[in-house]
Amino acid sequence: MRIHGRRVSPVRATIVIVACFVVSTLGPSLAIAPAGADTASQLSQAQAKLSALLKDIDAATGQREAVERSLSSLLGRIDTNRRKLESATAQLVDTELRERDAQAQVDRARRLVDQRAAEAYMNPMSSIEVILGSNSFQDLQERVALLGAVGESDDQLLSGLSQEVGTLSQDRSDLDALEQTLQTSQGSLETQATDLKSGLAEQQQAVDRLNQDVAAARGLVSALTDQRARELALEALQNAGGGPGIPPPPAGSSTVRELIVRDFTPLGAVRVTQALCVGAHESGYNPRAVNSSSGAAGVFQFMPQTWPPMSHAAGYGASSVFDAVANVAVAAWAVAHYGWSPWLADAPFCGF
């Protein structure tokens, strides 16, 4: 294909592929606000708002993590208290069993002592007979000592058993108090845990809301950044439109149509017809046409961000987008390599 004797490098061709993709994705009719300082002010405000939101979300996340740590510590305390309560309950049951067993021993010993007392009461001569039955003074002393030892042993047995019962009773009372204290503490800890779980849920909801706000703010910053870039590109094109070195436009639309016919003829008669339709639809063959919304310019309305790489790739890197000769030639080169993809919006009107 003829490109006015210019050979296209692979690097430039790659740049053009990217440019064509951008154009075909955005389309020539993307709505953009007029150029001005207002967009820059809005962008600055949106960036400041995003920065503030990011700080807020850091603070909220820190608060949520603090609540999580408190809840984790409290759950550990609840588990420790639960184990203490279980141990105290087991000790209480064991103490009650030991207390009942000791009381049973006391009762048995009392019955035995009572039985001996009853026998002594019913037969008072038995003890005397034991004493009188001695054969010697020494034997008498031993028998008296034996009777005294029996009585003392009964008293000691009853006293020891009674002390054990008293000790066990006190232990049971202490364990009852401990169990009650632990149960009260467990209830308090569980109430605190419920409150912390509720607070944690609220903190998470706050973080989620801030994340949504951050996502919206980032979207706004991105949109305003793109809009400002297009506005600056449009201003640059408008400033370049009256500068030196730009060739005057052809005498009339007929001359632009002749350029289209000349450059598109190597692509076939169908391409020539389509190109004439696109040129008329995009700019009415006006080389100075500028879309105030998108910044698209020239006969074939190249976007500000796509004209530099595409014109370089086609061999017209030093030319202005308002140069009708360059604009038409670059359009022919683009169609030869990529078809009408940058101008798909014109397909319903121009039959491709």
Mean pLDDT value of segment 148-161:
68
pLDDT at 144: 60
pLDDT at 123: 58
Residue type, 334: A
Residue 323: both structure tokens together: 């140069």
Q: Is the CB of residue 224 less than 8 Å from the CB of residue 46?
A: yes
Q: Is the CB of residue 323 less than 8 Å from the CB of residue 287?
A: yes
pLDDT in tens, 44-64: 888 899 899 999 989 988 888
Using CA of residue 236, residue 241, residue 243, residue 244, what is the dihedral sign? positive
Residue type, 177: A
Question: Is 130 a residue whose pLDDT tops 70?
Answer: no
pLDDT at 162: 77
Mean pLDDT value of segment 66-73:
89
pLDDT at 30: 32
Question: Is 285 a residue whose pLDDT tops 70?
Answer: yes
Separation of alpha carbons 288 and 282, rounded Å: 12
Percent of the chain with pLDDT over 90: 31
Q: Is the CB of residue 213 less than 8 Å from the CB of residue 52?
A: no
Please give the backbone phi and psi of residue 174, each rounded to the nearest 5 degrees, phi first. Answer: -65, -40
pLDDT in tens, 23-52: 333 333 333 334 445 888 888 888 899 899
Half-sphere exposure of 337 (CA within 13 A, CB side): 24
Q: List the domains of the chain with CATH numbers.
A: 10-30+250-350 (no CATH), 50-225 (1.10.287.1490)
Alpha-carbon separation of residue 111 from 90, 101, 105, 323 (angstroms): 32, 15, 10, 129
Separation of alpha carbons 331 and 329, rounded Å: 5
Q: 290 forms bridges with which residues in the sheet?
A: 297
The pTM is what?
A: 0.41
pLDDT in tens, 97-112: 887 887 787 777 777 7
Q: Is the CB of residue 207 less than 8 Å from the CB of residue 57?
A: yes
End-to-end CA gap in the chain: 20
Q: Which residue has the higher pLDDT, 188 or 332?
A: 332
pLDDT-derived band at 135, boundaries 50, 70, 90: low
Alpha-carbon separation of residue 91 from 84, 88, 161, 163 (angstroms): 10, 5, 21, 20
pLDDT at 104: 82
pLDDT at 246: 42
Alpha-carbon separation of residue 286 from 251, 253, 256, 273, 325 (angstroms): 11, 7, 8, 18, 12
Q: Is 22 left (phi over 0), alpha (psi -120 to 50) or beta?
A: alpha
Q: Which residue has the higher pLDDT, 281 or 111?
A: 281
The single-letter DSSP state of residue 346 is: G
pLDDT at 37: 56
pLDDT at 7: 38
pLDDT at 111: 77
Q: Is the CB of residue 256 less than 8 Å from the CB of residue 279?
A: yes
**Which of 89-93, 155-159, 238-242, 300-304 tops mean pLDDT?**
300-304
Separation of alpha carbons 104 and 112, rounded Å: 12
Please give the backbone phi and psi of residue 208, each rounded to the nearest 5 degrees, phi first. Answer: -60, -45
pLDDT at 243: 38
Question: Is 186 a residue whose pLDDT tops 80?
Answer: yes
pLDDT-derived band at 74, boundaries 50, 70, 90: confident
Write out 26-81 in H/E/C secondary structure: HCCCCCCCCCCHHHHHHHHHHHHHHHHHHHHHHHHHHHHHHHHHHHHHHHHHHHHH
Separation of alpha carbons 48 and 317, rounded Å: 38
Question: Is 185 a residue whose pLDDT tops 60?
Answer: yes
